[in-house]
């Protein structure tokens, strides 16, 4: 057990501290999942930015010549840009994960609020 968990467990009680630890883990997992769902869009935007800065044409149908430092990076830009098609898979996952996270946070907030009556 970590020192943070033991400190929280002595202040709040073991069951509440364990619930807090589980929520922290849940939040980290959801944040990483949502970040991974955004990666395909970021890849496409990055490929477009690189092509624009270098003055190259980014075409997702065929690789166009883009010479940088004596090497053609047109195919690499094409592959990087094509990763954006992954958003058709990750967007529904993103929406579902965000909805689950929001519902979980609201239910937890309500549960904690109703569980502890306010002091008069």
CA-based R_g, the chain, Å: 23
User: Distance of CA 79 to CAs 1, 47, 48, 50, 89, Å?
Assistant: 45, 9, 12, 13, 17
Predicted pLDDT at 60? 84
User: pTM of the prediction?
Assistant: 0.67
Query: First vs last Cα of the chain: how many Å apart?
Result: 36
**Alpha helix stretches (DSSP H) within 1-120:** 3-12, 14-54, 74-82, 87-115
Predicted pLDDT at 15? 56
The tens place of each residue's pLDDT in the chain, 120 residues long, gives: 554 444 444 444 555 556 668 889 999 999 999 999 999 999 999 999 999 999 998 888 888 888 888 999 999 999 999 998 999 999 999 999 999 999 999 999 898 888 876 654
Residue 77 makes CB contacts below 8 A (sequence gap 6+) with 47, 50, 51, 56, 58, 63, 64, 66
């Amino acid at each position: 057990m970590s020192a943070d968990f033991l400190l929280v467990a002595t202040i709040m009680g073991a069951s509440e501290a364990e619930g807090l630890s589980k929520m922290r883990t849940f939040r980290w997992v959801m944040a990483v999942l949502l970040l991974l769902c955004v990666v395909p869009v970021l890849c496409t935007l990055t490929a477009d930015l690189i092509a624009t800065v270098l003055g190259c044409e980014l075409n997702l149908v065929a690789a166009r010549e883009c010479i940088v430092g004596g090497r053609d990076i047109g195919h690499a830009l094409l592959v990087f840009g094509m990763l954006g098609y992954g958003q058709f898979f990750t967007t529904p996952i993103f929406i579902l994960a965000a909805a689950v996270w929001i519902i979980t946070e609201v239910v937890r907030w309500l549960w904690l609020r109703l569980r502890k009556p306010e002091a008069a």
